Amino acid sequence: MPFTDTGLLGLDPRWSTTVEVASNAACEPVRGRLRRWHVLDNISVLEAEGKQPVGTILAVHGNPTWSYLWRDVITAATEAEHPWRVVAVDHLDMGFSERTGLNRRYEDRIQDLSDLTAALGLDDEDRVVTLAHDWGGLISMGWAELHPRAHAGIIMTNTAVHHDPATGPIPAPLRLALAPAVHGSLTSKSKAFLNVSVTLVDSGIPEEIQDAFEAPYATAERRQGIRNFVADIPAFEGHPSNSRYERTAAWVATATVPALLLWGTKDPVFKEQYLQDLMQRLPQATVHRYEGANHLLPQDRSVQEPIMRWLTETFVDDTTHRQQHQAARPGGTSDPLPADFKPFHTGLSERAAQQAHAWEVATADMGPATNNNEPAVKKRLSWTELDQRVNSIASGLLNVGVRPGDRINLMVPPGTDLTTMIYACFRIGAVIVVADTGLGAKGLSRALKGASPKWLVGIPRALAAAKAFGWPGTRISVTGMDPVRAKALGVEHTVPELAKSQPIPFPELDPEADAAVLFTSGSTGPAKGVVYTQRQMAAMRDAVAAVCGLRPGTGLVAAFAPFALLAPAMGAASVTPDMDVTKPRTLTARALADAAGAIEATSVFASPAAIVNILATQGELSEHQRQALGNVKLMLSAGAPLPPTLLEDLQDLLPNAVLHTPYGMTECLPLTDVDLPTIREAAVDAQPQDTESGLHGSPRVEGAGSGVCVGTPVPGATIRIRPLDHDGVPAGDLTEEPGVLGEIVAQAPHMKDRYDNLWITENESTRVAGWHSTSDVGHFDAKGRLWVEGRLSHVLHTAAGVVAPVAAEHAAGDVPGIGRTAIVGVGRKGAQVPVAVCETQPASRSVGLARPALAAKVRAAVVEATGLDLAAVLVLRAHPTDVRHNSKIDRTLLAEWAESALGGGKIKNP
């Protein structure tokens, strides 16, 4: 059946062509017989438009799709500033190519493709980039092996080139399709295999697109190629295609051409193990994992834009985006890095070497108070003990096979055990992988499988979860374990065993090698792995030391896990209070005071959510506990902007402490710092009579009416604003001009190196080369202080211009009876109206419009503080998701809920 349907959505009929090609495949009874191929080829369009292609993309589909899969790539390649020719093939017996009636095996497919490219003249080119999906990956790599002069690059989406039997059988869907009892019924006699395969799309597939994918396969006869393709899967060693398949897989590991791997993480067939295999074989590959995308990735996500961007960077530009970014950031090629690199763990080593202080506590863990209400210290280590234990465990790790660069997933609660493991890893150059258990089992699985650590160190509960959810890594138990349980959990080593090792020489650290993969909270999308090098971790240590004043002889209560881990690097003692660190609101005032008293702490670091509960439980404090808090000289909080009213209440509880609220994020912490006196001063400076600046002609009031003041950059950090245009998009030159609302961008020596296997996300975050785009919005005041006004995705697009939400939210939250508030935009962009969605105190029993009296108070407070006139005030029992602070509320869901509630829809708590 020749291709005649030119009405398929997205397919330009000018691309469609047929080619008669002599077949040299071994399966042919008569060599040289002409076979009719259908291909999509944009060369005639390019020539008609006078465009010279950079090279040729040879696009190879899998089973049971056809060249239609690549229609968007062909469009993008044709319209690009630097266009490419695309030759998208339909395999013989597939798509609209000829049905030969022969059982074509893997080696036949390679020969078929070679016959076609020879007929099209592609073998004579020197810039052919293969693009493949599904079994097209193996076929295209078999072709590439035979055409080294022409082959210039690799692009793959959800495929596999090898299966390791040690990892288990081939994926269940393929085993089912291969089962003799149902093989023919599923693949050719019915459309079952076809229907399922082309609907493996997380975003859903329109009916007309599904029909287009199925158009070449209307009858059982036309589906015979699907059946044969499945049967040719080399599922066992004696399979006829196995030896050629093994040869191709081995060759891929020798390929040195540039490579791009784009992957849908929800693929039930080509799972994470196949991506990891490809990454090991192609270490030069650029990788992006599309969280949530399914098997049919080119249909599920718009892969054409990143493909064209990568092609341009690789074959047109002199440098890649990453190279431009690295050159422009602090310490880039134009600004040589300082030679005096001090490894992250240096402070611990130096402190332990001071024998006069060997008895001092380095790190301690608190437990629940005893029966007589006395604080309980579960575990403590002196500096000498900590240093010796770190050295022994580091030696033990080396002895069991851990090497510099190996990733080690640490599933250990914050405290002495985690501190010890982290410093042992840093000593030997292993890369720590840290993900918050607050992500939940699903989020942790997604994060850890993406990071693919080689080792996993965990408490028994974490090891049980690792076995249940298939988390990667050789298992090491933090605690001793009996042989039966160790076998059941797959544990091969224990930390107590490692700690018995005699110290051995440690490898020399490379300052530019990876040191850590720290996962974000996952509250603004899937958690992202943030990669830091050894040098960047050392720079983070120095930045925190400068802000916190931590130094030898000081003590820190760390209710925020990262700071507990940083303290020993600065020679400062640390104690972890009795709390669930994944749930900051579990920290009580008593637990904080007990921890402070245990090491005579002078500093405290706690998250905003923890502070809220500390203040709520302060009535339970004894006089002795209040005295312990009275010894605190410095209180720090980060993670979200804190309203001044909350800080004032905290100052009453900690009368001798200077309150600081450094601003930063997992990608760069800290960025700025500010104390309470400065916040007070900024609020006075920003009264309405002092400022008449505006955005898009709209009056603005700085100060309490324009967000939260987070102060000035910390030493080494630089902050700028990228102004928002009328559509709320960051655009234009970076500025320090006061009163300009825009995205906050930053650079610092302790800024992340990159996002892990998220090439597209990394490019977006570094769209201004040398800078990290934070996705927060804010402005500078006249004295150069930064004010944070919300997230870029949370701004409202009103008829009067762009409105940031934080100031109005804080104003509403100050109204008696109102708790956390989110200001969301209802309506279409450019005409949105502001709506306040509030929690109440106590929690409201009903949801929907607030009582008129309460709504009036909220409206008045917001107008007075910001000039923003709310269209409505809604109340609910609780904001969606288990949030840690106001910036983590799911505002997209809230906006949809508010629009439905105001539109007369069924009202229930979102």
- Mean pLDDT throughout 688-713? 51
544 in a domain, yes or no? no
* Domain CATH number, residue 81: 3.40.50.1820
- Mean pLDDT throughout 222-241? 90
- Between 562 and 472, residue with greater pLDDT: 472
Has residue 524 got a pLDDT over 80? no
Q: First and final CA of the chain: distance in angstroms? A: 52
Instruction: Give the pLDDT band of residue 689 (cuts 50, 70, 90).
Output: very low
pLDDT of residue 909: 62
pLDDT of residue 344: 93
- Mean pLDDT throughout 396-413? 96
Domain termination residue (choose one: 458, 481, 509): 509
State which residues form the domain around 835.
797-902
- 689 and 826 belong to one structural domain: no
- DSSP-assigned letter for residue 166: G
765 in a domain, yes or no? no
687 in a domain, yes or no? yes
- Mean pLDDT throughout 151-172? 90
Contact assessment for residue 660 and residue 547, using Cβ atoms and an 8 Å cutoff: yes
Has residue 95 got a pLDDT over 70? yes
- 634 and 778 belong to one structural domain: no
Mean pLDDT of all residues in the chain? 90
Tokens of 424: 């042992």
517 in a domain, yes or no? no
Model confidence pLDDT, tens digit, residues 69-94: 999 999 999 999 999 999 999 999 99
- 802 and 784 belong to one structural domain: no
- 814 and 884 belong to one structural domain: yes
372 in a domain, yes or no? no
CA torsion sign for 74, 76, 80, 82 is: negative
- 648 and 681 belong to one structural domain: no
Cα distances (Å, whole numbers) of residue 269 to 171, 274, 287, 295, 469: 5, 9, 19, 7, 17
Has residue 335 got a pLDDT over 90? no
Instruction: Give the pLDDT band of residue 414 (cuts 50, 70, 90).
Output: confident
Q: How many domains does the chain have?
A: 5
* Domain CATH number, residue 597: 3.40.50.980
Q: How far apart are CA 359 and CA 694, in angstroms?
A: 59
pLDDT of residue 883: 42
Most confident of 129-133, 592-596, 803-807: 129-133
297 in a domain, yes or no? yes
Among the ranges given (73-77, 375-379, 684-688, 765-769), the one the predictor scored with the smallest mean pLDDT: 684-688
Helical ranges in 292-431 per DSSP H: 297-300, 304-315, 321-328, 346-353, 383-399, 416-428
Q: How far apart are CA 390 and CA 398, in angstroms?
A: 12
- 129 and 268 belong to one structural domain: yes
- 867 and 732 belong to one structural domain: no
* Domain CATH number, residue 694: 2.30.38.10
Q: How far apart are CA 71 and CA 397, in angstroms?
A: 51
361 in a domain, yes or no? no
Has residue 229 got a pLDDT over 60? yes
pLDDT of residue 784: 95
Instruction: Give the pLDDT band of residue 729 (cuts 50, 70, 90).
Output: very high
Has residue 757 got a pLDDT over 60? yes
- 424 and 493 belong to one structural domain: yes
Has residue 608 got a pLDDT over 90? no
- Mean pLDDT throughout 434-439? 84
* Domain CATH number, residue 808: 3.30.300.30
Single pTM value for the model: 0.91
- Mean pLDDT throughout 157-175? 86
70 in a domain, yes or no? yes
Has residue 705 got a pLDDT over 60? no
- Between 689 and 503, residue with greater pLDDT: 503
- 68 and 216 belong to one structural domain: yes
Query: What is the SS3 assignment for 588-640?
Result: CHHHHHHHHHHHCCCEEECCHHHHHHHHHCHHHCCHHHHHHHHCCCEEECCCC
Percent of the chain with pLDDT over 70: 93
Contact assessment for residue 723 and residue 730, using Cβ atoms and an 8 Å cutoff: yes
56-60 and 85-89 as β-strands: parallel, antiparallel, unpaired? parallel
- 32 and 153 belong to one structural domain: yes
- 299 and 399 belong to one structural domain: no
Instruction: Give the pLDDT band of residue 331 (cuts 50, 70, 90).
Output: low
- Provide φ and ψ at 678, rounded to 5°: -65, -40
pLDDT of residue 695: 35
- 144 and 253 belong to one structural domain: yes
